[in-house]
A and B are shown apart, each in its own frame.
Chain A
């Protein structure tokens, strides 16, 4: 099981969630995944992830927030 970094960006003003997510990706150790909590589905972030070679899997939670798992290789 690889490391996971939880980033709570709920109710931050755009584009701060994206800025924080990108900063977390820059700091990520090899194999580390980021679990981003956010209040809206971050469509523009997906484009920035693609440009940097990251993958994502998004799930909507019961409280209407989203969990975006960001990873390099298989989500495992």
Chain B
């Protein structure tokens, strides 16, 4: 039982803080599409090409980083009952760090420019350190609901490892220090970034937002308790085997990879299952984003154990399906629920408006425009997934769709902001 006179409204961050992250995210998606056009055909040749590395970071740090950090700032206080200390300063530092550091990193990786790489590393680490410390403060003090907090803690650890390895690699590329085995460290950096930080955080957030916003039953308890531990164990086994630099450990590395793939598969199937059993079977565009996301994740999970044996175009294709098909779809599906909800909620809280006098969630972003975004996004995924197998000019339509989808997302999110302000909301 809980009772009281309500949580203090000012414990949650003001709308302006997460919204700054959410509104900046589409700009990086757009930038990635433009950079993809400008660097054709380089990124189609190798996933470790400078162009591919630059594009990957525009998507992961720029787009996904903005969405995920914005969502975390919003969700941590609500889910764990404690505000992030000095949330304004922390949020602004993180936004500046990601917003300035990511383009610097993209340029530095793309051009192999040591000064830019070094500057990117400093700006990103300086901006993200307060976020990591603030989140650690909240996560360390989370009370009671350990099953909510654990995936967040695990994602936090994975982010720390990803940033540490990334910093080590960037410093090596910039010539500041020697890196023993850059190829192996790059694999680890990618594994902890994509399989750790991204996947664990998506899973942890999905446990909360899918039942809440799509009216599904809860995920099975055994799954939500243990799945991310299993995933983390798989990553750890893979990493420990990988750093041994000894073929005798190859089976252990493969066992780790299979564990990660099984976890991804279990999560995707469980999500599709609870969504199928949702209470109100109304058409919902966010559900389509999630279904595309889960179908893409299943494809990647099945391909993951074969990754080392596949030709390079197939590996790049799997990367595209993971980043655009899985993560960007899920991120957009969440944005189309979270942004209208926050705009409605803050407007309601600030103005105390009578029922029916402020726009409701569906009016903040209309389903028609969100669906247009889904179609363009789906076209981008379908056109870009086979692109590494085809002649370079055939990647152009997919990149144009990606750019158009980014503009539609930005337009839709800005429309919620415009309505919020027009009805007397304060950011």
| Cβ contacts under 8 Å, B360 to chain A | 15, 19
Interface contact A48-B212, CB-CB below 8 Å: no
CB-contact partner of B349 in A39, A51, A58, under 8 A: A51
The docked-state distance in angstroms from the alpha carbon of A22 to that of B345 is 12
B407 contacts the other chain (CB 8 A): no
- The answer to whether A51 and B9 have CB atoms under 8 Å apart is yes
Q: What 1/0 mask marks residues of chain A from 28 to 45 whose CB sits below 8 Å from any chain B CB? A: 000000000001110110
Say whether, besides A43-B7, A47-B8, A50-B9, A59 and B348 are in contact (CB < 8 Å): no
Known: A13-B215, A22-B355, A40-B211. A50 touches B6 (CB 8 A): yes
Q: Could you tell me the distance in whole angstroms from the C-beta of B141 to the nearest C-beta in chain A?
A: 18
Q: If A15-B361, A47-B12 touch, does A55 touch B341 (CB 8 Å cutoff)?
A: no
Instruction: Kindly supply a per-residue 1/0 record for chain B positions 193-221, scoring 1 wherever the CB is within 8 Å of any chain A CB and 0 otherwise.
Output: 00000000000000000011101000000
Smallest CB-CB separation from A52: which chain B residue? Answer: B352
B4 with A47: CB separation less than 8 A: no
Q: Which residues of chain A come closer than 8 Å to B282, judged between CB atoms?
A: 13
Nearest CB on A from B18, distance (A) = 14
Flag if B6 contacts A14 (CB, 8 Å): no
Q: Which residues of A contact B12 (CB under 8 A)?
A: 47
Tell me whether A58 and B6 are in contact (CB under 8 A): no
Please determine whether A49 and B6 come into contact, CB atoms closer than 8 angstroms.
yes
Q: Is B344 an interface residue (CB 8 A)?
A: yes
Which of B6, B211, B213 is A51 in contact with, Cβ under 8 Å?
B6
- Decide if B8 touches A58 in the complex (CB within 8 Å): no
| B1 on interface, CB distance cutoff 8 Å | yes
Name the CB-closest residue of A to B354: A26
Q: How far is the CB of A17 from chain B (nearest CB, A)?
A: 11
B422 in contact (CB, < 8 A): no
- Given known A-B contacts A41-B2, A58-B1, A58-B3, A26 and B355 have beta carbons under 8 A apart: yes
Q: A11-B215, A13-B215, A19-B355 are in contact. Are A60 and B1 (CB under 8 A)?
A: yes
Nearest Cβ distance between residue A68 and chain B, in whole angstroms? 9
State how many residues of chain A have any CB contact under 8 Å with chain B: 29
Chain B residue with minimal CB distance to A45?
Answer: B6
In the complex, 7 of the A-B residue pairs with CB atoms within 8 angstroms, ordered by the A residue number, are: A11-B215, A14-B212, A19-B355, A41-B2, A43-B7, A44-B345, A55-B3
CA distance A20 to B356 in the complex (A): 10
Interface residue B78 (Cβ < 8 Å from any Cβ of A): yes
Further pairs besides A13-B280, A55-B6, A56-B5: 4, Cβ < 8 Å? A26-B354, A50-B8, A51-B6, A55-B5
Name the A residues within 8 Å of B361 (CB-CB): 14-15
Interface of A toward B, CB cutoff 8 Å: 11, 13-15, 18-20, 22-23, 26, 39-41, 43-44, 46-52, 54-60
In the bound complex, how far is the Cα of B313 from the Cα of A8, in angstroms? 55
Select which of A13, A15, A20, A59 is within 8 A of B1 by beta carbon. A59
- Please tell me if B418 contacts chain A, counting CB pairs below 8 Å: no
Chain A residues with Cβ below 8 Å from B4 are 46, 55-56
- Shortest distance between the CB of B215 and any CB in chain A (Å): 6
Closest to B9 in A: A47
Residues of chain B with a CB closer than 8 A to A11's CB? 215, 279-280
In the complex, A57→B5 CA distance in Å?
A: 9
Most buried by B among A40, A47, A54: A47
Evaluate contact between A47 and B349: CB separation under 8 angstroms. yes
Q: Tell whether, in the assembled complex, residue A48 and residue B6 are in contact, meaning their CB atoms are under 8 Å apart.
A: yes
Nearest-Cβ distance from residue B167 to partner chain A, whole angstroms? 37
- Contact partners of A52 in chain B: CB under 8 A: 352
Question: Given contacts A19-B355, A40-B212, are A48 and B348 in contact (CB under 8 A)?
Answer: yes
Contacts of A49 in B (CB 8 A): 5-6
Q: When the two chains form their complex, are residues B6 and A57 in contact, meaning their CB atoms are under 8 A apart?
A: no
A22 to chain B, nearest CB (A): 6
CA distance A55 to B343 in the complex (A): 24
With most chain A CB atoms within 10 A of its CB, the pick from B5, B280, B355 is: B355
Q: Contacts A19-B360, A44-B345; is A56 near B6 (CB within 8 Å)?
A: yes
Beta-carbon nearest neighbor of B342 in chain A: A44
